[in-house]
Amino acid sequence: MGTIEGAWYDYPQYYDLAFQDDTKQEADFFQAAFERYAQGDVQRLLEPACGTGRLVVEMARRGYHMTAFDLSRKSLTYLRRRLRRSKLQADLFEGDMTQFELERPVDAAFCTVNTFRHLLTESAARSHLESMARAVRPGGLYILGLHVFPPGTEEEGTERWSATRGQTRITVTLKADNFNARKRQERIRISVRLRSPKKDMRLRDEFLFRTYTARQLRRLIRSVPAWELAAVFDFWYDIDEPLELNDEIADTVCVLRRRA
């Protein structure tokens, strides 16, 4: 078995496989949230930092006009191939989620599974929300998913899951450590084991995430007046069970609505 030390975002086929089982549940929730919280019809969608574009493909398949971007050329190349194979279309471009412009505003946008936490400073996070406010029309939504920590936490933990596609099986081990509440950072270590009839390999990677308490996240949202917090959910994505943005939930999904 070979081991590769490198960014797992450079292996989009493995990243895509790791999260494939969540796609339908997320997409169903998006549609339910559009109906319940958006003002006006929702047809045009945006995914910033789209990665492999599993949600881009799913929402395009459901008839939405998709726009998406990412910094990873390998991920965008992979996504373009997926769209061609599925005979679907989306407007794709290479871009930074802290500073981008669209020619035409969209009706709604989404960014899930902690992608937002790659922005390691308050100014970068605020710049992203400001860019998103310019990209989404008044009355439209931005669905933002991330892990939120209770105050005083020193959380370290390990999560492991597997996924299968055909004869290929992937096992992902995610370890969070070096939690630093003062710097508001934690280190994420990723180990990916891939097994198929022709391949047995392991990929290792690590990166930093910014941390948020509920209070810090609420303060950040309020710092960009174009957004109002319309609703909060967790990663169970139950549209009939809205929650509060507080220290009782960790995996948090904020439904932000663009003010007029």
- One-letter amino acid at 135 equals A
- Strands 2-5 and 199-210 come out as parallel
**Per-residue pLDDT at 5:** 75
Q: What band does 13 get if pLDDT is binned at 50, 70 and 90?
A: confident
Whether 17 is covered by a domain: the verdict is: yes
Residues 37-61 pLDDT 10s: 999 999 999 999 999 999 999 999 9
- Interval 106-129 mean pLDDT: 97
What share of the chain in percent tops pLDDT 90?
87
Sheet-wide strand order for 65-70: 91-94, 65-70, 44-47, 106-111, 136-147, 251-258, 227-234
Question: What tokens appear for 175 in the block?
Answer: 């370890």
Q: Is the pLDDT of residue 153 over 80?
A: no
Whether 5 is covered by a domain: the verdict is: no
Q: Distance between CA 248 and CA 237 in Å, rounded?
A: 16
Q: Is the pLDDT of residue 245 over 90?
A: yes
What share of the chain in percent tops pLDDT 70?
98
**Per-residue pLDDT at 6:** 72
Judge if 131 and 189 occupy the same domain. no
Q: Is the pLDDT of residue 89 over 80?
A: yes
Domain boundary among 173, 194, 210: 210
Whether 6 is covered by a domain: the verdict is: no
Q: Which residue is it, tokens 């997926």?
A: 82
Strands (E) across the chain are located at: 2-5, 44-47, 65-70, 91-94, 106-111, 136-147, 157-165, 168-180, 185-196, 199-210, 227-234, 251-258
Whether 3 is covered by a domain: the verdict is: no
CATH number for the domain that contains residue 59: 3.40.50.150
Q: Is the pLDDT of residue 154 over 80?
A: no
Question: What tokens appear for 164 in the block?
Answer: 């299968």
Whether 47 is covered by a domain: the verdict is: yes
Q: What band does 1 get if pLDDT is binned at 50, 70 and 90?
A: low
Number of domains, the chain = 2
Question: What tokens appear for 149 in the block?
Answer: 């920590």
Judge if 139 and 217 occupy the same domain. yes
Judge if 227 and 202 occupy the same domain. no
**Per-residue pLDDT at 152:** 72
Judge if 172 and 56 occupy the same domain. no
In contact, 87 and 65? CB cutoff 8 Å: no
Q: What is the pTM of this model?
A: 0.95
- Interval 150-173 mean pLDDT: 88
Which residues fall within 8 angstroms of residue 35, CB to CB, at 6 or more apart?
none
Whether 195 is covered by a domain: the verdict is: yes
Judge if 243 and 206 occupy the same domain. no
Judge if 18 and 98 occupy the same domain. yes
Domain encompassing residue 246: 12-150+211-258
Judge if 201 and 235 occupy the same domain. no
**Per-residue pLDDT at 73:** 94
Judge if 239 and 143 occupy the same domain. yes
Judge if 169 and 66 occupy the same domain. no
Whether 41 is covered by a domain: the verdict is: yes
- Mean residue pLDDT across the chain: 95
Judge if 21 and 58 occupy the same domain. yes
Whether 232 is covered by a domain: the verdict is: yes
Q: Is the pLDDT of residue 155 over 70?
A: no
Q: What band does 8 get if pLDDT is binned at 50, 70 and 90?
A: confident
Judge if 35 and 162 occupy the same domain. no
Q: What band does 229 get if pLDDT is binned at 50, 70 and 90?
A: very high
Judge if 51 and 179 occupy the same domain. no
